[in-house]
C-alpha cells in the first residue's frame, strides 16, 4: 500500500516540459508608469475649456461694463490681441516645458517619482509638470472664469456644506 500521494500533474509536466510555458505564468517586474500622452490630452481639453470659459467670462464682464466699444473682439475691454498672445505663450509653455523636462530626465538618467501613499504608479517628471499645469487650468476655470460667467461653483459647494451641517445638527 502506497501512502504517498500520486502527483499526476507533476509527472505530466516532467514528461512534456513545453506545458510549463502554458501552465506557469511568468512574472515580470514592469513598473506601472502614468501615461504621459493621456495626461497631455487631459491638459489639452482643460486648456480649451479654460480658453472658452475665459472668453465667455470676458464677454459677460464686457456686457456688464456698458463699455463704449461696439465690438467685443478688438481694441476694447473685451477679447483683445493681448489676451490672445497670452494664450499662445501659455500654450507654448505647456508644450515646451514638459518636453524639456523629459529630455533632461533622459539625458541625466533621473529616476521616476513614486509616492506610494498617493499612487501605485510611477510618475515621470514631465507627468508631474503636466499634472501641475492641469491644476492651474482647473483653478483658472473654476475659480476665475466660471464666476465671471455667473456660475460660482465654490458658493454652491459652501451652500451644500452649510445645508449638510444644518441637517446634521437637526438630526442630532
Q: How far is CA 46 from the centre of its chain?
A: 9
For residues 145 and 56, what is the distance between their CA atoms, to the nearest angstrom? 8
Nine-digit cell string for 64: 456688464
pTM: 0.69
Q: Quote the pLDDT of residue 37.
A: 92
Please give the pLDDT value at position 154: 82
Helix axes 81-107, 36-64, angle to 10 degrees: 160
pLDDT of residue 120: 80
Instruction: Report CA torsion sign: 126, 129, 135, 141.
Output: negative
DSSP code string of 81-112: HHHHHHHHHHHHHHHHHHHHHHHHHHHTTPPP
Give the separation between CA 69 and CA 110, rounded to whole angstroms: 53
pLDDT tens figures, 131-162: 999 999 999 999 888 888 888 888 888 889 98
pLDDT at position 39: 92
Structural domain boundaries of the chain?
36-171
- Could you say which residues of the chain have pLDDT below 50? none
> Which residues make Cβ contacts (< 8 Å) with residue 122, sequence separation at least 6?
31, 32, 33, 34, 112, 113, 114
Amino acid at each position: 500500500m502506497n501512502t504517498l500521494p500520486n502527483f499526476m500533474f507533476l509527472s505530466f509536466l516532467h514528461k512534456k516540459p513545453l506545458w510549463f510555458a502554458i501552465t506557469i505564468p511568468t512574472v515580470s517586474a514592469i513598473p506601472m508608469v502614468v501615461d504621459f500622452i493621456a495626461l497631455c490630452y487631459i491638459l489639452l481639453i482643460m486648456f480649451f475649456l479654460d480658453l472658452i470659459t475665459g472668453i465667455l467670462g470676458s464677454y459677460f464682464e464686457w456686457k456688464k461694463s456698458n463699455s463704449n466699444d461696439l465690438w467685443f473682439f478688438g481694441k476694447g475691454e473685451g477679447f483683445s490681441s493681448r489676451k490672445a498672445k497670452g494664450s499662445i505663450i501659455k500654450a507654448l509653455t505647456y508644450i515646451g516645458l514638459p518636453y524639456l523636462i523629459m529630455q533632461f530626465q533622459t539625458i541625466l538618467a533621473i529616476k521616476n517619482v513614486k509616492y506610494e501613499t498617493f499612487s501605485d504608479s510611477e510618475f515621470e517628471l514631465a507627468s508631474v509638470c503636466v499634472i501641475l499645469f492641469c491644476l492651474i487650468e482647473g483653478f483658472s476655470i473654476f475659480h476665475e472664469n466660471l464666476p465671471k460667467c455667473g456660475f460660482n461653483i465654490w458658493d454652491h459647494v459652501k451652500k451644500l456644506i452649510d445645508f449638510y451641517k444644518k441637517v446634521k445638527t437637526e438630526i442630532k
